[in-house]
Amino acid sequence: MMDFLLGRFGCRFRGTVRKAVFSLFVMWPILLLPTLGAGDDEVGTYRVGPEDQINITVARHPEFSGTFYVPSDGMLNLPAIGQIVANGKTLKELSEEIAELLRNRLRSPEVTVNLQSPRMQRVYVLGAVRNPGLYDMKSSWRITEALAAAGGLALGVDEADCKAIVLRVRNNKRETFALTDVFRGESQANAKIESGDVLTIEAQETIPVYVVGKVKAPGLYKLRKDNPGVIQAITLAGGALDEAALDRVTISRLDGSSKAVNLLPAMFDGNQESNVLLQPGDLVTVPEETARIAVLGYVKEPGFYALKNGQKLTLSDALGLAKGTESNRADIGAIAVIRVENGQQQKTVYNMHRFLKSGDASHNPEIKPGDIIYVPKSGRPDWDFLVRSLTAIGILINPFVP
C-alpha cells in the first residue's frame, strides 16, 4: 500500500519539496532582516574613505556595475562616468550622485552602493596624553573614548589648562573644544570622531609661582605662561583677604632680588602697569594691612579700628565705626583730629553741626591711617590736658604698633 501511495503521489511530493526549498531560499534574507538591520544607523552614517572596497550595482546594467577599491586620493574611476569623488560621502550620497551622472545614458537608473569591505577605522591621538599614537576605533567613538584609548592625560597635566583640537581629514577643518566642557559630557564639546581624524590635546604652558600671606588659599600655583601677571596669581590663590595690604605686595625672585608693587591702581582703576609679569619660581607675598585709627572720648564704643587697604574714610565714617557719639554728653561741635606730620603733632578741630545741618564738607575731612579722633564732653574742652593725657598713656608715641 505504501509503495502504491509513493508511486502515485511521489512526483507531486517531490515537486512540493522543491517548491518549499526554493521559497525558503528566496525568503531567507527577509527572515534575517532584523538581524542585519542592527547596524543600519552606523551604515547610514558611514562615510567612504581610502582603502574602502565598495560594490556598485546598476539595475539591469551589469556593464556599469562592479566592485571598486577607493584609492588614497579618494577618487573612483567608473565606467561611462569617469572620475568621481567618493571620499567623505555616505553610501546613499554616493549612489544618488552616480545615478544622477548616469541619466545622460540611462532612463531612470537605479543605483545601489554597498560597503563590501570597510577600511580599518583609526584615529590619531597626539599631544599631552600618556600614550600618543594611532588607535583602532569604533564608529561610535567621541573625544572621550579616543582620549581613554591613549591612556588619558599625561602626568601633571590639568584638564583646565587643556583644549582638544580635532583635525577632520575629510575636509581639513579644525574644531577646538575646552577639555573641561568635554569632560562635563556636553554633546557639542564631546564631538564625534571619524576615521582618519587627528585628535590633539594641547596643554597651555604654565610656570610655577608661590603665593603666601593674606590670601584665601596660600600655596604653589601653575600660572598660564601667556598671562603670568601678579594679579592672576593672587586670583588663583582665591583672592586677597579683607585685611590684605595690596599696596605693598612683594615679589621675591630666585636670583635673590625682590620688588614691591602697589596693586591698588590695577585692582580698582584698571591700570595694568603695576600688574608685574611673574617668572618661574617667584614668591608673591601679600602682607597684612596694619593701618589703624583711634576713636576716643565720648563715643559709644571707643577704641582702635583697622582700615581696609585703599579705603577712604571720612570723619563721619570714623564716628560710625565707634557706633556714634553719646548724645547727652558729647560735643560734636568741637571734635579734634590729631595727626602726626613730619614728626610733629597737629590738632585740628571740626564742627560736625555744620556738616550735618548745611552739608559743609570742610568739617567732614578725610581721615588718614594713624589719626586719633577725640570727641570731648559738652562744654569748653581742655585740649592741653587731652594731649598730656594721651601722651602719658603712650598713645601719641607709637599707638599703632601691631
171-202 confidence digits (pLDDT tens)? 889 999 999 999 987 778 999 998 889 999 99
Residue 18 pLDDT: 45
What's the grid cell of residue 69? Answer: 577599491
For domain 122-203, is the CATH number 3.10.560.10? yes
The superfamily (CATH) of domain 206-286 is Outer membrane lipoprotein wza domain like (3.10.560.10)
pLDDT at 53 over 70: yes
Nearest to 165 by CA among 175, 180, 178, 152: 175
Residue 49 pLDDT: 87
CATH value of 42-117 in 3.40.50.300, 3.20.20.150, 3.30.1950.10, 3.30.930.10: 3.30.1950.10
CA–CA separation, 128 vs 157, rounded Å? Answer: 7
Residue 187 pLDDT: 77
Confidence of residue 269 (pLDDT cuts 50, 70, 90): low
Residue 312 pLDDT: 84
Domain with CATH 3.30.1950.10 in the chain: 42-117
Mean pLDDT on 236-263: 91
pLDDT at 380 over 50: yes
Q: Which CATH architecture has domain 292-392?
A: Roll (3.10)
Give the contacts of 114 (CB within 8 A, at least 6 positions apart): 54, 55, 57, 91
Report the percentage of the chain scoring pLDDT > 70. Answer: 83
Mean pLDDT on 259-280: 83
E strand intervals along 70-186: 75-78, 82-85, 111-117, 122-127, 133-136, 162-168, 173-178
pTM (predicted TM-score): 0.51
Domain with CATH 3.10.560.10 in the chain: 122-203, 206-286, 292-392
Confidence of residue 14 (pLDDT cuts 50, 70, 90): very low
